[in-house]
Structure 1
Amino acid sequence: MKNRIFTVILYKEDDVYIAECPEVGTVDQGETIEQAIAGLKEATRLYLEEFPLPETSPRFVTSIEVSYA
């Protein structure tokens, strides 16, 4: 079994939390952050069993501030 670290983007929409994995394209939701992440882990695991990804370099996430009119 392989282990790999993926990015997770979390946000609240109405009354649920949405968790997205941008590297894979999987998404899940839950009533709590923990439920959303657990569902995303399972969805991502199932996806990768069917569609393995090639090995890539680690990705880093940061924030930027943009001024606009």
Structure 2
Amino acid sequence: MHVTAILSHAEEGGYVAFNPETGTTTQGDTIDQALINLREAVELYLEEFPMKLGAAPLVTTLDIAVHA
């Protein structure tokens, strides 16, 4: 089963990992550790709340204008 992992830098260091299909969020000191933690968290979530996952969401970026 494929799920989406969205990673961003954490303010305190390391990375935050988010799975939009389940709403699961976790973190790790490295990208690899954040992904390992997210995999475990999503698996535990799906054990408790089984769900049929469809196609992965489209994840992209947008440029926005920032006004001072």
TM bucket by the smaller chain?
0.7 to 0.9
CA-based RMSD: 1.6
Secondary structure of the 2:3 match is coil
Q: How many pairs are equivalent? A: 66
> TM-score, normalised on structure 2?
0.79
Mapped partners of 1:44, 1:17: distance in 2: 17
Mapped partners of 1:56, 1:62: distance in 2: 18
Percent identity for Structure 1 against Structure 2? 41
Which residue pairs with 1:15 in the alignment? 13
Higher relative contact order (CA 8 A, sep 6+): 2
> TM-score, normalised on structure 1?
0.78
Which residue pairs with 1:36 in the alignment? 34
